[in-house]
Copies of this chain bind each other. A is one copy, B any other.
Amino acid sequence: MALKVGVIGTGMIGQDHIRRLTKVLSGVEITAVNDIDVERAKEAAPYGAEVFETPKALIESDNVDAIVICSWGPAHEEQLLDCIAAGKPVFCEKPMTTSEEAAIRIVEAEAAYGKRLIQVGFMRRFDADYRRLKAVVDSAMIGAPLMYHSVHRNASVPSHYTSDMPLNDTLVHDADISRWLLSDEIVGVEVRYPRRSTVGGGELKNPVIVLLHMESGAIVDVEISVAITYGYDIRGEVSGETGVASLPNRPATVVSDVNGIRQAMPEDWRERFIEAYDQEFREWIIAAGEGTATGPSAWDGYASTLTADAALRAAESGQYEPLKMIKKPALYLEAPAVAAE
């Protein structure tokens, strides 16, 4: 039996997920859509899907088994709480919430419910390269991880991208993947601004170096460049006690010509993570079919919010800024479950 899914928010990313759920993946059908703009919802709705006037009505519908939230960030809290109230699995795009307090309310509501329902959209955890890297880190192959070097390079950013966004928008991916790769929590953040790039005019505080201090004592140094022009270049290297493990070059034809021996670079995150997005939903469908959620949790969404806030404070103060987390509910204590690939 196919999983009946309702989609809240039919903007660009909502439409892309609708395409994925209807054209690419099996075991799922979209039975309901909702958007603040009803006309847009109607256009985006696949054949046979009902258009609901409110998120709450969609969530509570008997014809909806599970929900995908792609609405505006500030709307997430209420929608997630409604999903928990209805006991229905939900996939929620980043950011899970836009405030620490909202994140805590969601974590506490899910913990009170007693079973995981929420998967947050950190797609990197579903990327095959990162998964192989984690498998090496988790094995005894390189010993305990002591440092992680995470490099995040965007070819360019949109004109509305501001100096807060490397810390608010970009860093969250490196922060989440660091916590996951090292099976660790972030306890403090430092931010340093190197010599500024003149690409794009030089008004943006770019690049940025961020040091994430982990609970184990490991340090993650994140190098963010958001206007490197040449491509979307994501790198990661874990230094352990007795070995080092790194993400490989992306598979690309090795061409020898007048430009040297060379491989093409992905243009953007769509090209780089296209398979991770598919896999993210493939596993969500399996877990949702069993009435629960795996992958990145509400706790991970909460940690992400706290990290971004601490990074913004650290950018301001120039100092080490600690994260103050609530006590971790038992629901989140176990290692992040991974559905069978």
Contacts and interface: CB of A to CB of B under 8 A. Distances in A.
Interface string A251-282: 11111111111111100000000000000000
B254 A264 contact: no
Interface string A217-254: 11101010100111101000001011111111111111
A23 interface: yes
B25 A241 contact: no
A249 B254 CA distance: 9
A180 to B, nearest CB: 15
Nearest to A320: B318
Contacts of A144: 195, 197-198
Nearest to A259: B259
Given A195-B217, A207-B146, A256 B244 contact: yes
Nearest to A20: B26
Interface string A8-35: 0000000000000011111110000000
A329 B242 CA distance: 45
Contacts of A141: 255, 257
A196 B147 CA distance: 10
A252 B243 contact: no
Contact of A248 (B136, B142, B198, B251): B251
B218 A251 contact: no
A218 B196 CA distance: 8
Contacts of A38: none
Interface residues of A, number: 71
Contacts of A158: none
Contacts of A256: 230-231, 233, 243-246, 265
Given A229-B258, A239-B225, A265-B256, A218 B244 contact: no
Contacts of A146: 194-197, 207, 225
Interface stretch (A71-79, A107-115, A126-134, A163-171): A126-134
A251 B251 CA distance: 6
A199 interface: yes
B194 A252 contact: no
Nearest to A195: B217
A196 B239 CA distance: 12
A143 interface: yes
